[in-house]
């Protein structure tokens, strides 16, 4: 079935199809339409979930920790300040090994107040243990939300997962979205994982651990995170069989094979990047583009393989990383260093706080990157 | 007789690491006996995070979710909704200290109360941040020494049960470790009630924090009630009722002087006779308010009857 949906509604349809037991959320622009739609689904009986209308984002995640600890499938969504307010329990959810799924509509952090897209909120949780996916269209929001449940609840993983997408360009823009006819063919069966807490077999979740025991819980998390790419690829493989859409590598390459320069981006700007690649190619400039879907764990190997032997990598970062190269560019640099690749790396902070980045901007960035040293530059437009 | 129904089963096991004479541990033992094994505890940062004993062991024979400081009432909200959705009815009980209740956890508690989840929330009140080493909380009494109020607390203890009554939850009650039968009856009542959050507030003496001999915990708990500094009562669907020994203390002459309670505790050692007199007046005024409330409540009941 194909529907015309915004990115936010695509998330709500994916959640309806995943049939969580407990949803808890707090309103914040631009996330709010997700939970409004979910409330409608619950009202109409299409979604049989309990909806805990909490008094803060901190409580939203805490409620899901309580729910997931006894075996519930869960969902929440937030943005920006909401994620930061929730931050403490975001880490708690990961440490408690609970397969919570969250939607994050990326939005700038204040001050000044700004409701438009910026990935600063997204990057704040990059070391927490959450599987982090980035969607660049409404269709990807739908698909990756379903895959998030498959990864989170897999018994080799049991870690929370989030799917992020840009405010407004994706969250509020209508696009055709093809739904999975029977999502149960993709998703794990309910109750496939054993919850940590049950009255019939009492145990404690999260009590005091001395250094060695604490370190062991973190080591086990490291192991679980290492298994994510394989589990992600399996789930993406099942989706590909059902729909033909393929996310299994965790990233997409566009005209990279014979490229000398590769643009790297996440989110809605990727559409402009592809158009710019076509425009530059039409003038005989050998460029390609790489879009990251699976941000954590980061696909170092795959990214390095794509970039190996290229002359230049240009990272478009939709945020300002003050005092250091941005996280995505740092990850690319790490991928290159681990592989021993010598590729010029240029990062542009572009699209910060919702500033529009067009195909012409991307073409101009290519020209600017040729003239500059490797490093991070703030893109103020042409 | 009440003591005959008190279960022999223990759910707080030997080997827990509470301090000798810990009023909270005594109270928790009574609470779990009343609630039984089909009980999930949600515990924020507090002394009991440590009392449980270190991973991978636990001194609890019931499942426990340890959760961040401000998050307990919200976590319990999600847990009860999940258990109801999954068809596994159980008691979901927050067991939180005074800091985790009256200060950092108050927003989540207020939200859970307003939403009406079927949870039991118990504050064990040792009247300061004891786990971090005796710092003043919003529940520290007026005049009390703590490490952050070295000359005595200039503020006044928050009336959290009163705040919960204002949320119109179905049940609010106070507890004391000196009166286990009173505790037992109130917990059983709370567990049997549906239709909202049940709030219970226990005054639990803390030997290192209050500066007294650990052997005096029950005596001190009893004196808190007998002097009228701690009032045992319940508010069931809005109707206030004194319980246990507090029923007999409406007349000032029946109450022991507060000095008997204060003088046993090092945290009040610096108080002058005038300070003690002021605290006595505050207690007496509180009982005058209770008497008025009971009179109004009585009139209210007769109007309805």
Contact B15, A175 (CB under 8 A): no
Q: How far apart are CA A206 and CA A285, in angstroms?
A: 55
Cα A141 to the center of its chain, rounded Å: 9
The C-alpha atoms of residue B216 and residue B20 are separated, in whole angstroms, by 11
Read out DSSP for B11-30? SB-TT--PPTT-HHHHHHHH
Tokens describing residue A156: 């080799």
Residue B278 has pLDDT above 50, yes or no: yes
Sort out which chain B residues have CB atoms less than 8 A from A22's CB and list them.
78, 81-82, 85
Question: Do A21 and B85 make contact, defined as CB atoms within 8 angstroms?
Answer: yes
DSSP B105-140: THHHHHHHHHHT-S-EEEEEE-SSBTTTTSB--TTP
Distance CA A314, CA A323 (A): 19
Q: What is the pLDDT of chain B when averaged over all its residues?
A: 95
Provide CB contacts within 8 A for A71, sequence distance 6+. A191, A193, A194, A195, A198, B82, B86
Among A72, A54, A68, CA closest to A206: A68
**Residue linked to tokens 């094979």:** A257
Q: Helical H runs in chain B?
A: 2-5, 23-35, 47-51, 72-85, 98, 106-115, 160-166, 180-192, 207-210, 217-226, 258-262, 273-304
Q: How far apart are CA A316 and CA A326, in angstroms?
A: 10
B87 touches chain A (CB under 8 A): no
User: In whole angstroms, what is the distance from residue A248 CA to residue A81 CA?
Assistant: 32
CA B203, B207, B211, B213 dihedral sign is positive
Q: Is A204 within 8 Å of B60 when comparing Cβ atoms? A: yes
Q: Are the C-beta atoms of residues A291 and A270 closer than 8 Å to each other?
A: yes
Task: Please report the pLDDT score of residue B286 as a whole number.
Answer: 97
**Each residue of A113-129: pLDDT tens digit?**
999 999 999 999 999 99
Instruction: Give the CA distances from residue A259 to residues A271, A341, A344, in Å, rounded to whole numbers and listed in that order.
Output: 18, 16, 14
CB neighbours of residue B304 within 10 Å: 7
Judged by CB atoms closer than 8 Å, whether chains meet at A50 and B90 is answered as no
* Calculated CA dihedral for residues B227, B229, B230, B231, nearest 10 degrees: 80
Q: What are phi and psi of A218, to 5 degrees?
A: -70, -35
- Region of residue A129 (phi > 0: left; psi between -120 and 50: alpha; otherwise: beta): left
Residue indicated by tokens 């794509």: A306
What value does the mean pLDDT take over residues A191-212? 95
Nearest to A199 among B38, B50, B111 (CB): B38
Identify the pLDDT of residue B4.
Answer: 59
* Domains A2-243 and A251-378 fall in the same CATH topology: yes
β-pair type (A312-317, A344-349): parallel
Task: Find the CB nearest A204 among B58, B110, B111.
Answer: B58
Residue-wise pLDDT for A325-381, tens only, equals 999 999 999 999 999 999 999 999 999 999 999 999 999 999 999 999 999 999 997
Between B39, B77, B85, which is nearest A63 by CB?
B77
pLDDT of residue B305 exceeding 80: no
Residue B299 pLDDT grade (very low, low, confident, very high; cuts 50, 70, 90): very low
Q: What is the pLDDT of residues A284-337, one digit of tens each?
A: 999 999 999 999 999 999 999 999 999 999 999 999 999 999 999 999 999 999
Q: What are phi and psi of B69, to 5 degrees?
A: -50, -50
Mean pLDDT of all residues in chain A?
97
Residue B87 is predicted with a pLDDT of 98
**Rg (alpha carbons) of chain A, rounded to whole number:** 20
- Provide mean pLDDT across the span A263-292: 98
- pLDDT-above-70 percentage for chain A: 100
CB-nearest to B63 from A59, A198, A210 is: A198
Q: How far is A203 from chain B (nearest CA, A)?
A: 5
Candidates A97, A137, A130; CA nearest to A5 is A137
**A122 vs A72, B243, B296, CA distance in Å?**
25, 53, 56
Please report residues of B whose CB lies closer than 8 A to that of A55: 107-108, 110-111, 114
Q: By the 8 A CB rule, do A226 and A278 touch?
A: no
Question: Chain A to chain B, count of Cβ pairs less than 8 Å apart?
Answer: 170
Cα angle B141, B145, B146; round to 5: 95
Interface test with A, best of B78, B84, B87, B121 (most A CBs within 10 A): B78
The full DSSP string for A15-62 is HHHH--SEEEE---TTTHHHHHHHHHHHHHTSS--EEEE-SSHHHHHH
Inter-chain residue contact B82 with A70, CB threshold 8 Å: yes
Omega before A112 within 30 of 0, i.e. cis: yes
Cis peptide bond prior to A124, omega within 30° of 0: no
Q: How far is CA B49 from the centre of its chain?
A: 17
B110 part of contact set with chain A, CB < 8 Å: yes
On chain B, the residues whose CB falls within 8 A of the CB of A66 are: 42, 65, 67, 74-80, 82, 92
Please give the backbone phi and psi of residue B159, each rounded to the nearest 5 degrees, phi first: -95, 80
Per-residue model confidence as pLDDT tens digits over B61-120: 999 999 999 999 999 999 999 999 999 999 999 999 999 999 999 999 999 999 999 999
Take residue A13 and report the two structure tokens written for it. 């349809």
Residue of chain B whose alpha carbon sits nearest to that of A214: B55
Average pLDDT over residues B270-286: 97
Which of A22, A61, A202 comes nearest B61 by C-beta? A202
CB contact under 8 A, A70 and B79: yes
Across the interface, of A22, A61, A64, the residue whose CB is closest to B85 is A22
Between helix A300-307 and helix A327-339 the angle, nearest 10°, is 70
Name residue, tokens 């689904």.
A41
Among candidate residues B286, B235, B292, the one with its CA nearest the CA of residue B113:
B235
pLDDT digits (tens, 9 = 90+) for A8-50: 999 999 999 999 999 999 999 999 999 999 999 999 999 999 9
Let me know how many helices (H) and strands (E) chain A has, helices first.
Answer: 11, 16
ipTM: 0.96
- pLDDT given at position B6: 85
Average of pLDDT values for B179-188?
A: 97
Listed by start position, the domains of chain A span 2-243, 251-378
Check A66 against B42: CB less than 8 A apart: yes
Binning chain A into helix, strand and coil, the percentages to the nearest 5 are 40, 20, 40
Asked whether the beta carbons of B100 and B174 are under 8 A apart, the reply is no
Backbone φ and ψ for A161, nearest 5 degrees, come out as -135, 140
Give the pairing type, strands B39-43 and B91-97: parallel
Partner residue opposite A59 with nearest CB, options B71, B82, B85: B71
Q: In CATH terms, is domain A251-378 a member of 2.40.50.100?
A: no
B113 backbone dihedrals φ, ψ, rounded to 5°: -65, -45
B55 CB neighbours in chain A (<8 A) are: 204, 207-210, 213-214, 217
Beta bridge partners of A254: A289
Secondary structure (3-state) at B244? helix
Q: Which pLDDT band holds residue A269 (cuts at 50, 70, 90)?
A: very high
Write out pLDDT tens, residues B237-266: 999 999 999 999 999 999 999 999 999 999
Residue in chain B nearest A204 by alpha carbon? B64
What are the φ and ψ backbone dihedral angles of B117, each rounded to 5 degrees?
A: -65, 150
A77/B104 Cα distance (integer angstroms): 24
- CATH number of A2-243, picked from 3.40.50.720, 3.40.50.970, 2.30.40.10, 3.90.550.40: 3.40.50.970
- The band of B19, judged by pLDDT with boundaries at 50, 70 and 90, is very high
In this predicted model, what pLDDT tens digit does every residue of B189-214 receive, in sequence order?
Answer: 999 999 999 999 999 999 999 999 99
Which residues of B fall within a CB distance of 8 Å from A217?
55
pLDDT at B3: 53
Confidence category of residue B302, pLDDT binned at 50, 70, 90: very low
Residue contact B55–A62, C-beta within 8 A: no
Does the distance separating the beta carbons of A64 and B55 come in below 8 Å?
no
* Cβ(B171)–Cβ(B193) below 8 Å: yes
User: Does residue B300 surpass a pLDDT of 70?
Assistant: no
Contacts of A134 (CB under 8 A, 6+ apart): A122, A163, A164, A165, A266, A267, A292, A293, A295
Structural domains of chain B sorted by starting position, each given as residue range(s) with its CATH number in brackets: 2-304 (3.40.50.970)
Summarize the confidence of residues B159-164 as an average pLDDT: 98
């Amino acid at each position: 079935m194909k529907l015309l949906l915004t990115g936010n509604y695509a998330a709500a349809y994916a959640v309806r199809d995943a049939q969580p037991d407990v949803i808890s959320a707090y309103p914040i622009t631009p996330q709010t339409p997700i939970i409004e739609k979910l409330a409608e689904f619950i009202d109409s009986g299409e979604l049989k979930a309990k909806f805990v209308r909490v008094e803060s984002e901190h409580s939203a995640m805490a409620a899901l920790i309580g729910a997931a600890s006894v075996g519930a499938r869960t969902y929440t969504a937030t943005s920006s300040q909401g994620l930061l307010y929730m931050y403490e329990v975001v880490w708690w959810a990961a440490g408690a090994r609970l397969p919570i799924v969250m939607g994050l509509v990326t939005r700038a952090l204040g001050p000044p107040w700004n409701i438009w897209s910026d990935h600063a909120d997204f990057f704040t949780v990059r070391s927490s243990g959450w599987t982090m996916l980035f969607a660049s269209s409404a269709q990807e929001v739908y698909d990756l939300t379903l895959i998030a449940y498959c990864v989170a609840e897999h018994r080799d993983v049991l870690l929370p997962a989030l799917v992020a997408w840009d405010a407004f360009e994706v969250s509020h823009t209508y696009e055709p979205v093809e739904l999975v006819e029977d999502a149960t063919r993709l998703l794990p069966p309910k109750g496939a994982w054993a919850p940590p807490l049950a009255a019939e077999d009492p145990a404690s979740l999260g009590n005091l651990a001395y250094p060695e025991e604490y370190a062991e819980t973190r080591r086990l998390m490291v192991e679980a995170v290492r298994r994510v790419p394989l589990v992600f690829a399996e789930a993406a493989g099942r989706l590909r069989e059902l729909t033909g859409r393929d996310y299994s590598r965790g990233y997409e390459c566009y005209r990279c094979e014979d490229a000398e320069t590769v643009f790297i981006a996440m989110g809605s700007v990727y559409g402009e990047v592809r158009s710019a690649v076509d425009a530059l190619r039409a003038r005989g400039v050998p460029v390609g583009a790489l879009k990251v879907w699976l941000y954590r764990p980061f696909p170092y190997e795959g990214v390095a393989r794509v970039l190996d032997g290229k002359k230049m990598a240009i990272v478009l970062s939709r945020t300002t990383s003050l005092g250091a190269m941005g996280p995505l560019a740092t990850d690319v640099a790490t991928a290159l260093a681990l592989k021993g690749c010598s590729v010029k790396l240029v990062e542009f902070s572009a699209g910060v706080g919702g500033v529009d980045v067009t195909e012409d901007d991307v073409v101009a960035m290519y020209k600017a990157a040729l003239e500059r040293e490797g490093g991070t530059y703030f893109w103020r437009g042409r | 007789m009440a003591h005959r129904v008190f279960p022999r089963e223990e759910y707080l096991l030997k080997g827990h690491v509470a301090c000798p004479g810990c009023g909270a541990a005594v109270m928790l033992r009574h609470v779990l006996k009343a609630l039984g094994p089909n009980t999930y505890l949600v515990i924020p940062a507090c002394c009991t995070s440590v009392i449980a004993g270190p991973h991978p062991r636990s001194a609890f024979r019931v499942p426990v979710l340890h959760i961040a400081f401000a998050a307990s009432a919200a976590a319990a909200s999600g847990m009860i909704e999940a258990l109801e959705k999954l068809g596994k009815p159980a008691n979901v009980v927050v067991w939180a200290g005074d800091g985790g209740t009256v200060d950092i956890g108050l927003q989540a508690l207020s939200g859970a109360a307003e939403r009406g989840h079927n949870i039991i929330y118990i504050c064990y009140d040792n009247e300061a941040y004891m786990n971090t080493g005796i710092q003043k909380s919003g529940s520290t009494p007026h005049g009390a020494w703590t490490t952050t109020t070295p000359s005595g607390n200039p503020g006044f203890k928050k009336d959290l049960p009163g705040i919960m009554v204002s949320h119109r939850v179905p049940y609010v009650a106070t507890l004391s470790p000196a009166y286990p039968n009173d505790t037992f009856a109130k917990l059983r009542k709370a567990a049997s009630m549906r239709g909202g959050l049940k709030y219970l507030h226990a005054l639990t003496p803390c030997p290192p924090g209050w500066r007294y001999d650990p052997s005096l915990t029950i005596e001190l708990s009893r004196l808190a009630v007998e002097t009228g500094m701690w009032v045992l009562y319940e508010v069931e669907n809005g109707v206030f009722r004194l319980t246990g020994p507090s029923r007999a203390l409406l007349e000032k002459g029946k109450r022991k002087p507060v000095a008997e309670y204060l003088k046993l505790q090092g945290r009040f050692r610096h108080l002058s006779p005038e300070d003690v007199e002021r605290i006595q007046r505050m207690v007496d005024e509180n009982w005058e308010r209770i008497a008025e409330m009971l009179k109004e409540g009585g009139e209210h009941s007769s109007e309805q009857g």
